[in-house]
Structure 1
Amino acid sequence: MSARILDGKAIAARIRARLAERVATLSFRPGLRVVRVGEDPASGVYVRNKDKAATAAGFDSATIHLPAETSEAELLATIARLNADPAVDGILVQLPLPPQIRTEAAIAAVDPAKDVDGFHPLNAGRLAAGQPGLVPCTPRGVMHILAESGVALRGARAVVLGRSQIVGRPMAQLLLGADCTVTIAHSRTKDLAAECRRAEVLVAAVGRPGMVRGDWIAPGAVVIDVGINRLPDGRLVGDVAFAEAAAVAGAITPVPGGVGPMTIACLLENTLDAALARRGAG
């Protein structure tokens, strides 16, 4: 293995420590509310980790857990109450939602000023326009990893593999804002492997275990693996065939321990940013 390992777990710990120091100086506790509907097992683990990290950093964090049969109207009413609550600075609606609830309706119902997931159309538009706003947590975390690892982005050829609203598209916007030359690749891209080999910075976010092989990687490239996939034997793996890629890449994030911890750290960053902005204390 020749690639430098980019330790997202350590970077996330430093961010959470900095946030805790900042929160300790405030006259209030930033309020975060997570709304979970149903019993999705992965969501349960993730929400518990969010609550634990938020509480440890001094945030006022709580989860509102609604039954799986909750109607869309009931969920929207819950969100409206949180929008109106002055003690709540950040609202996160945990995905996936049950089939009777439209995801886009839930996202659009959140006050954009409290949208700490960064998914509201207004915040997505601000990002696309290069204006300040709340940015989706995972792409923000990737940018932290790149910055704190000393990766030079200005003028770099970046390829984002995946075009989701949650990761791929906002990731491309952030890299573009950092003066990269950005390509978004996806399942319909012709000769996907060749497109990836053009990248000096490759961000893989497709949700397919081991899809990106070692011969897709340019020698010395920086590889950011956003994928978190659980195999039948219980192992967690990314979208990149790690051992193959690490033999070629210059730097790579592991799974687990790479991008995943950054998502929660950046959720807390967004919550603090929202709290300061709402109170005019930024």
Structure 2
Amino acid sequence: MAKLIDGRALAEKMYQDLTQEVRLLGARGVIAKLGIILVGDHRASLLYIKQKQEAAQKYGIGITLNHFDEKITETELIANLEKIQTKSNYSGLIIQLPLPAHLSTDRALDALRPSLDVDCLTSANLGKLLVNTPYFWPPTVAGIMTILSSLKIKLKGARVAVVGTGRLIGKPLVVALMNAEATVFACNDQTSDLKAHCLAADIIISAAGVPNLIRGEMVKNGAIVIDAGTTIVHNKIQGDVDFDLVSAKAKFLTPTPGGVGPLTVAHLLRNTVLAAKILYP
């Protein structure tokens, strides 16, 4: 039976250090502030924003939601982004994804200034991650690396299957693992024989957003399984992993919720504080 990885406990350890950094900034009259851009009323986005708001307010970090109608044009959105970045005093700014289909995610993200991009999703910041000189780590990627570090996993030479190669998690995670000299199998919806790739892996990290995609017969005994995929099913968050079947095979397993998610929020707020320290040295 797998040992569960408690993401909430790991996040709480981070917040202990973060609280001290917030106090030190406050002593200089600096408040770390996060701005969130939301377009429309995507149900999962509203849930994730609530989690960020609750954590920010608890630990003394300012947070403001900028909510736009789902029918906003791309030109209007980018103009508003420029206005917000010029006139606000945010230390970090994120665009809550997904955007409505008529808006270009790439163009919207690249309208953010890299110094404010605490989600690390602009082309500039992803490029810096590629060459291993990032301003910020993408929060979910950083959360996953925190989990692996807590388990004292040596990534050099480890075989890691990353399932899902989206811009938010999968692609930057593959880069981060390659920078750590792991052997990475990058699997997407066109990958043939996903089961074989997963069975060959010492570590499986799924970020596909497909419930029960990772099943027991896809996991070798003693593997580490990290579930970073999330889907809202009947108003509840569900991961990519068939929890009951995989827990009988894996050595370590993250639950959903309570695994990667709390660390994603913690690293987002840590990036916001780091950005404030850079902005006000």
Pairwise TM-score range, normalised by the shorter structure: over 0.9
Match of 1:275 in 2: 276
Deviation at 1:161, TM superposition (A): 0.9
- Where does residue 259 of structure 1 map in the other structure? 260
Which residue number in structure 2 is paired with residue 48 of structure 1? 50
What CA distance in whole angstroms lies between the structure 1 residues aligned with 2:113 and 2:211?
35
Q: Shift of residue 235 of structure 1?
A: 4.4
The percent of aligned pairs where both chains have the same amino acid is 35
2:126 corresponds to which residue? 124
CA distance in 1, matches of 2:87, 2:114: 14
8 Å Cα contact 2:35/2:64 also seen in 1: yes
Point out where structure 1 has 5 or more consecutive residues left out of the alignment: none
- Matched with 1:246 is 247
Query: Per-residue deviation at 1:84?
Result: 2.1
Helix, strand or coil for the counterpart of 1:210? coil
Question: What is the RMSD computed on CA atoms of the aligned residues?
Answer: 1.6
Q: What's the CA shift string for 1:34-82, capped at 9, x where partnerless?
A: 1111222221222122122112221121111122222222221221123
Letter in 2 for 1:207: G
Which residue number corresponds to residue 213 of structure 1?
215
Runs of 4+ in 1 over 6 A off after TM superposition: none
Q: Which residue of 1 aligns with 2:90?
A: 88
Shift of 1:226: 0.8
Q: Which amino acid aligns with 2:253?
A: I
What is the TM-score normalised by the length of structure 1? 0.93
- Structure 2 counterpart SS, 1:174: helix
Q: Which residue type is aligned with residue 171 of structure 2?
A: R
| Residues in 1 aligned to 2:104 and 2:233: alpha-carbon distance in whole angstroms | 29
1:132: Cα distance to partner?
2.4
Deviation at 1:119, TM superposition (A): 0.6
Consecutive unaligned residues in structure 2, runs of 5 or more: none
Partner in structure 2 of residue 186 of structure 1: 188
In the superposition, the TM-score normalised over structure 2's length comes to: 0.93
Q: What CA distance in whole angstroms lies between the structure 1 residues aligned with 2:231 and 2:102?
A: 26
The residue matched to 1:265 in structure 2 has which SS? helix
Partner residue of 1:10? 9
CA-CA distance at 1:8 after TM superposition:
0.8
SS state at 2:250 partner: coil
Does residue 25 in structure 1 map to residue 24 in structure 2?
A: yes
State the number of aligned residues. 278
